[in-house]
Structure 1
Amino acid sequence: MTSVSLYWRIFGLNALVLGAATALLLWAPVTVSVPVLLTEAVILVGGMGVMLVANAALLRIGLAPLDRVTRLMATVDLLRPGQRLPVRGGGEVAELVSTFNAMLERLEKERAASSARALLAQEAERRRIAVELHDEVGQSMTAILLALKQVGDEAPAPLRGEIQQVQEITRASLDEVRRLVRRLRPGVLDDLGLVSAVTSLATEFATHTGLRVHRRFGADLPTLDNGTELVIYRVAQESLTNVARHAEARSATVSLYREDDRVVLEVTDDGRGIGAAHEGAGLRGMRERALLIGATLDVTPVARTGTRIRLAVPAVRKQS
């Protein structure tokens, strides 16, 4: 059955009301006097009121989906997929809603694909930079340390103290380079697994920021594929970085556990809370990584003060 369009429904209702008014004037004992009598004015005003109410009701019902589309268009975020409008009835309005939902689905898929390509390129670039830092800069600084030690052993006593100071500065710089390499390319993740990598990350974070970092790991964590483990590690890394930069916290807790058919990462702090601030590049980057593996990311305030970042990942086991 072909549905009647909104245009013809409005036109038909107006034609019905005007036709009824015309028939009433033609065949009913209703006349309009000059001057107009009170009863005639009541009939005319009442008829006009009925027509206006009927038109308003039809427009309200017929155009309500357009209002919902407008509100969703103003608030839709492709990093929070699944936002759709219900399709009710038929006609061009229902077709518009269906087309809008299909457009959202297509945009979400395209956004996920483009984000995946960008994140893979970013990880490849990080690996390249880490290798260059390790192989070129790290080895060069190691050679400088060996040369300084040899010079220090042969130098006269008055110069040895200054050479030792240069050695300490070079050694500290080498340690910083190694730390950057670990941040760019978490080799412990490939060698020892996710729990060891997150443990190392939390320990290093506490050492360099002075914050207390508590760790809570479940005992029944499944073995995940490399891409999923990397996303969990990067979200934990970015979450702790946000705590250090913005939260003004004294401590943070990193939890990793299994919940039904999902692996959950939680990073909670006791800082000033997220409030009504807009999400920055860090949080949006985490959402893009979550979409890459079909996970969900929630950022919520905790009791009194602080923020909780929760990443729920489907527990798909590593392919052997």
Structure 2
Amino acid sequence: MSLFWRIFVMNASLLVVAAALLLSPWVTISAPVLPDEAIVVTAGVLAMLAADACLFRYGLAPLKQLSQAMARVDLLNPGARPKATTQLEMAELVHTFNAMLDRLESERATSSARVAAAQEAERRHLARELHDEVGQTLTAVLLQLKWLADRAPMELREDLHAAQETTRESLDELRRIARRLRPGVLEDLGLASALRALTADFRTAGVTVRYQLDAGLAGLAPEVELAIYRVAQEALANAARYSHADRIDLELRHQMPGVVDLMVRDNGHGLRDAAEGSGIRGMRERALLIGARFVIDATPEGGTAVRLRVPTTAGAEQ
């Protein structure tokens, strides 16, 4: 029965019952109305209103459930769908809403893939520019400072050596930035070597980073390796920069056949009900691109744990 006819039948039933009671010998109306009759009529009206409210609440309950489901929709956490009911209009409305969600999630996945590809292309371009242009310029400056320091008077050599060290540190930092923008180790040596090099970069910042990488992680698709690397990179950066952690654990393991788990835990001050920033949203979008499950939560010690569960074969259980 459609929603219109359900509501019509509910109200019609109440009116028929009220009319039957008025025509019955148990309810009589005098002129003028007696106090007892006024009480009976008032009680009847209140009872009809209460019954009408209950029936409407029951009849429109699927609309409220659908409204709540709409409010919970998050395209970064896809898959949740409201269930269709037996009511005709409600079933059609739920099916239409679910079809819209399917289309939005598909379009978002496509646009996110394009944005990610554009970002990686821009990162490679910036890394080349930094390495080829700025890096070569700093190298030339370093050589010129060395040449000047070898020929300068003794009273100027200390200052020139200090300028050399500053330039050398700037060149090293520039190379680290270029490596983060374009992980050449990932392309040349694979995911495990890239993650080791990534943890080494954070050790130089005074953070203790321990890693455990399972053997036999080769064979992952390039886009999967890149997504895992970027999530690990962002998780390490967040732990060092925002959580003020001094110890970070990174694990990449085969938890079950067809599934690879990335876990990054720290001993920082945790999320503290902070709103998700662009970094966490970026990790969620990268997880969506490869069909992975992304979870971020607090550890029992008060730190933060980032987990990425990646299916490596079709039909792997997530």
So what's the TM-score if we normalise by structure 1? 0.89
Which residue is equivalent to 1:214? Answer: 210
1:157 shift after superposition: 3.8
Structure-2 separation of matches of 1:160 and 1:17: 102
Cα root mean square deviation, aligned: 2.2
Q: 1:176 aligns with which of 173, 178, 183?
A: 173
The whole-number CA distance in structure 1 between the counterparts of 2:232 and 2:284 is 12
Q: Counterpart amino acid of 2:34?
A: V
The 5 Å alignment of 1:138-217 reads 138-208=135-205, 210-217=206-213
1:81 corresponding residue in structure 2:
78
Pairwise CA distance, 1:174: 1.0
Instruction: Please report how far the alpha carbon of residue 47 of structure 1 lies from its aligned counterpart in structure 2 after TM superposition.
Output: 4.5
Structure 2 residue aligned with 1:10: 7
Change (3 A) 1:276 1:203: same
Q: Cα deviation per residue 1:18-43 (whole Å; 9 max; x = unaligned)?
A: 223324434656422344374x5676
Q: Is the 8 A contact 1:269 1:308 kept in 2?
A: yes
Is the contact between residue 222 and residue 315 of structure 1 (CA under 8 Å) also seen in structure 2?
Answer: no
Contact persistence 1:252–1:268 (CA under 8 A): yes
2:230 pairs with 1:227: no
SS of match in other structure, 2:260: strand
Deviates more, 1:240-249 or 1:283-292: 240-249
Contact 2:7 2:59 in 1 (8 A): no
Which runs of no fewer than 5 residues in structure 1 stay unpaired?
none
Segments of 5+ residues of structure 2 without an aligned counterpart are: none
Deviations 1:181-235 (A, max 9, x none): 1111111111111111111111110112x12111111234342111111111111
Cα deviation, residue 96, structure 1: 1.7
Deviations 1:56-80, CA, capped at 9 Å, x for gaps: 3332222112212222333322111
Name the residue aligned to 1:36.
Answer: 34
C-alpha displacement at 1:144, in angstroms? 2.2
2:297 pairs with 1:300: yes
Which residue identity lines up with residue 17 of structure 1 in the other structure?
L
TM-score normalized by structure 2?
A: 0.90
Q: Which residue identity is paired with 2:84?
A: V
> What is the CA-CA distance between 1:254 and the residue it aligns to?
0.4
Of stretches 40-49 and 269-278 in structure 1, the one that deviates more from structure 2 is 40-49
CA distance in structure 1 between the partners assigned to 2:185 and 2:216 by the alignment: 20
Q: Secondary structure at the match of 1:215?
A: strand
**Cα displacement string for residues 84-126 of structure 1 (whole angstroms, at most 9, x for unaligned residues):** 1111112222222222222222111111111111111111101
Give me the identity figure in percent. 52
* In 2: Cα distance, 1:26 partner to 1:145 partner: 107
Return the alpha-carbon distance in structure 2 between the equivalents of residues 304 and 24 of structure 1: 69
